Structure 1
Amino acid sequence: MIRPAIVHEVRTDQRGQEEVVEQLCRLWPRAEVVTALIDERTPEGLRAARVREAALRLLHRSDGRQLPLFGTSPAAVSTADLSGFDVVLTVHRLFAQWVPAPSGIPMVSYVHGPARSMWDPRMRTYGDTGRVARRAWDARAARYQTTDRAAATRPDVLVAASRAVAGRIRAWWDRHAEVVPPPVDVDWYRPAPQRTKDDFFLYAGRLLPRKRTDVAVAAARAAGVQLVVAGAGPSRPALEQMAGRRVQFVGQVGATELRELYRRCAAVVVPGEEDFGRVSVEAQACGTPVLALSAGGSLDTVVDGVTGRLWQPVYDDTAIGSLAYEMGRFDPSAYDPAQLRRHAESFAPGRFCRDLQVIVGRVLAEVERAGTRTSHRSPALRQSVTC
């Protein structure tokens, strides 16, 4: 059995990247995870794996919060010693694939998404910073892009979480990527027996400007429908100020409460452009349709008219009106829970593991046949990258 090094970025919660890493560890029990921080919040399956923390611990404060990306992360990643492994697997969103794999060891990068806040100015949240600070932020983003584009030549194969992510990889990195959706725990998220739907919409996720939770809150108020907002984040005070009396904030919820909300709500609302759309799949696994912006990962996770409704405003300033219109006329009884469930099951962990196993096996076979690595990287990029 092969022994991979899995380079994992800096999170300690169960969502997203952690589920990918956990499945990779189950697929290859001899794998070693190179990451920044393991603590009591880390998923049990990941804590049970062989973990090497030291290489990236520079990226965290003592309270577990991530340090600023620039200046610390490139140096920390480039110190990781990955010799002795059969293959390097990176789980990338910000900087994981900046790691230098030793000569002769192939690299496969699973990409949740190039950092949109660095590549797309529309995704940057400047807050109340002045003009000088904004220019400095833009300059940092430009330096990041140079490093990120160079590092993107390192992997032998790039694997994207969605077609939307593959498109950004092509546009920003000039690389082709295969598409393999991330695993979703559809065994946990499943319909409740004999439950009738309640008359409320659900937003579940972080409360950040880029998530466009403000559009969901304003649309619910305009449509006169009930909306439950499950999640935490810096946008909550502003959202509470604009919310009407039928918008309820329940804060961050655990997996059991989230599953109950999925089961009870009339539909889940996805107002922003997602890289993949895990919430959409979890909701459908519980037999609940989705009302999502027709963009990004939702184009992969929601089948328009079958598992939910994809809406698209003509102009950005019509987003609230467009979503309010869809919420006002949405009929959850038009969707078959069994069909929703079948669609969600196509994102089960088994499919993810099979597809990744085939890709890694193919890369190793190509290296063995050639006798040497056939890599996109140039000799200069074998040195550590800086930003």
Structure 2
Amino acid sequence: MKIALVHDSFIQSGGAESVFEAIFELYPEADIFTSIYDKKFASRYGKIKASRLLQRLPFKDKIEKFAYFLMPLVFESFDFSGYDLVISSSARFSHGITTSSKTCHICYMHSPARFLWEPFDYFSSNLIRLITSPINLWLRIWDQAAVERVDAIFANSNYTAEKIKKFYNRDSTIVYPFQSKECRQPVEKRKDFFLIVSRLSRWKQTDLAILVANKLKIKLVVVGEGEDLPRLKRMAGKTVTFTGRISDSNVVDLMSRAKALIFPQKEDFGITAVEAMVCKCPVIAFSEGGALETVINEETGIFFNDQTVVSLEKAVLDFDKFHFKGENCVRRGKEFSKEIFLKTFSVSVKREYEKFLQSHQEIN
């Protein structure tokens, strides 16, 4: 069987890239396609097929951000004739590939594109939202047509599946992502600092945690980089520390010692919360999105109901009323293991591919 794997881009490493790497482990002989990639990924995967034009240009991270409207043309330009199975890993455009009627296309959808379908949550500037709205209107029309071409969709959570149903009127199979961090034995008594581990974008709502830390004079360690970092540093008080991007081992060390992970954003799944629980670190999470499917209220963490300083402040103050058992956090976190993901994903792919073949036999 000839297989191809497709991913939006390989510019930075995150949860979607970890999932793709696991899929590649299942199909190591597959050809890989993407819009644009950093050379560090070529050493990991070997030859990657990408847009020749975009790949020649400098500042690839900027190209991906500002020339996003070109991506449908890029993905539709790839030739998948001769492939039996194509698996796309998509949070933006890679599901928009075109395949023949003889090729089965399965999409693992991390999320429908946020900037297209949730612009009021994604864009912090009304002006940017207004300027991009004509392009994004066309892209939404293209996106709906692109999803119609997909033979089967896997979603990373029930929350994502609900959005897929709402935006595309398509059903999907839930295949939860996984955490793979190895946590050292936590210290006997956890320290008095709270922790955030995130890409620093406005929609991640990191500023809520900073404002609460300023008000309550509590220690907060912020791990990550992103375009919102300068603004966050300007508003941060003396009890807030920024580490920038650090190694996985250092993240694990912080999770092993932190009082709690603060998770103020609405994520489609939110692997960071699961990683924290594996390190016996309870979670203070916003009560929407994928966190509702991972964090168990008052057992492995607590929820706050509104993305406001008042709501998060109350949760932080209430946190000490609960006595969280580390073993409960670990047990919950390990329910999202890589082994379970690989087994569920491979079984689901086999089932959908057999259904695809059967449907074509009936037609013929």
- Same fold, TM exceeding 0.5? yes
Which residue does 1:162 correspond to in 2? 157
Any unmatched runs of 5+ in structure 1? 375-387
- Give me the whole-angstrom Cα distance separating, in 2, the residues matched to 1:372 and 1:58: 40
Query: Cα 1:56–1:164, aligned 2, differ >3 Å: closer, same or farther?
Result: farther
Which residue does 2:48 correspond to in 1? 52
Which residue does 1:339 correspond to in 2? 328
SS at match of 2:315: helix
- Residues 230-309 of structure 1 mapped to structure 2, 5 A cutoff: 230-309=223-302
Matched, 1:202 2:199: no
Which residue does 1:350 correspond to in 2? 339
- Give me the whole-angstrom Cα distance separating, in 1, the residues matched to 2:55 and 2:116: 18
* Aligned 8 A contact 2:69 2:139 in 1: no
Out of 111, 136, 160, the position equivalent to 1:113 is 111
The RMSD of aligned alpha carbons is 2.2
- Residues 171-250 of structure 1 mapped to structure 2, 5 A cutoff: 171-185=166-180, 188-250=181-243
SS at match of 1:72: helix
Matched, 1:140 2:97: no
Task: Pick which of 151-160 and 78-87 moved more.
Answer: 78-87
TM-score under structure 1 normalisation?
A: 0.87
**Higher RCO structure (Cα 8 Å, ≥6 apart):** 1
Which residue does 2:92 correspond to in 1? 94
TM-score under structure 2 normalisation?
A: 0.92
- Give me the whole-angstrom Cα distance separating, in 1, the residues matched to 2:3 and 2:209: 42
* Aligned 8 A contact 1:97 1:109 in 2: yes
Per-residue displacement from partner, 1:203-225 (whole Å, max 9, x unpaired)? Answer: 11111110001111112222231
Which residue does 1:65 correspond to in 2? 61
Q: Which amino acid aligns with 2:59?
A: D
* Aligned 8 A contact 1:159 1:178 in 2: yes
Q: Which amino acid aligns with 2:280?
A: G
Query: Cα 1:70–1:204, aligned 2, differ >3 Å: closer, same or farther?
Result: closer
Q: CA deviation at 1:93?
A: 0.6
Q: Which amino acid aligns with 1:112?
A: H
Which residue does 2:358 correspond to in 1? 369
Q: CA deviation at 1:371?
A: 3.4
SS at match of 2:60: coil
Which residue does 1:23 correspond to in 2? 22
* Aligned 8 A contact 1:32 1:49 in 2: no
SS at match of 2:161: helix
- Give me the whole-angstrom Cα distance separating, in 1, the residues matched to 2:361 and 2:142: 26
Q: CA deviation at 1:84?
A: 2.2
Q: CA deviation at 1:60?
A: 7.5
- Give me the whole-angstrom Cα distance separating, in 1, the residues matched to 2:242 and 2:46: 39
Q: Which amino acid aligns with 2:54?
A: L
- Give me the whole-angstrom Cα distance separating, in 1, the residues matched to 2:161 and 2:57: 33
- Give me the whole-angstrom Cα distance separating, in 2, the residues matched to 1:252 and 1:41: 17
Q: Which amino acid aligns with 1:100?
A: T
Q: CA deviation at 1:301?
A: 1.6
Any unmatched runs of 5+ in structure 2? none
Q: CA deviation at 1:174?
A: 1.1
- Give me the whole-angstrom Cα distance separating, in 2, the residues matched to 1:304 and 1:297: 13
- Give me the whole-angstrom Cα distance separating, in 1, the residues matched to 2:362 and 2:108: 19
Which residue does 2:314 correspond to in 1? 325
* Aligned 8 A contact 1:38 1:53 in 2: no
Per-residue displacement from partner, 1:98-126 (whole Å, max 9, x unpaired)? Answer: 00012211111000101112112312425
* Aligned 8 A contact 1:110 1:161 in 2: yes
Q: How many residues get paired?
A: 361
- Give me the whole-angstrom Cα distance separating, in 2, the residues matched to 1:33 and 1:107: 14
Q: CA deviation at 1:195?
A: 4.2
Q: CA deviation at 1:153?
A: 0.8
Query: Cα 1:325–1:340, aligned 2, differ >3 Å: closer, same or farther?
Result: same
Q: Which amino acid aligns with 2:350?
A: G
Per-residue displacement from partner, 1:167-188 (whole Å, max 9, x unpaired)? Answer: 1111111111111111221xx3
* Aligned 8 A contact 1:87 1:105 in 2: yes
Q: CA deviation at 1:193?
A: 4.9
Q: Which amino acid aligns with 1:220?
A: A
Per-residue displacement from partner, 1:256-309 (whole Å, max 9, x unpaired)? Answer: 111111111000001110111111011011111100000011111211111111
* Aligned 8 A contact 2:51 2:74 in 1: yes
Which residue does 2:4 correspond to in 1? 5
Sequence identity percentage: 28
Q: Which amino acid aligns with 2:12?
A: D
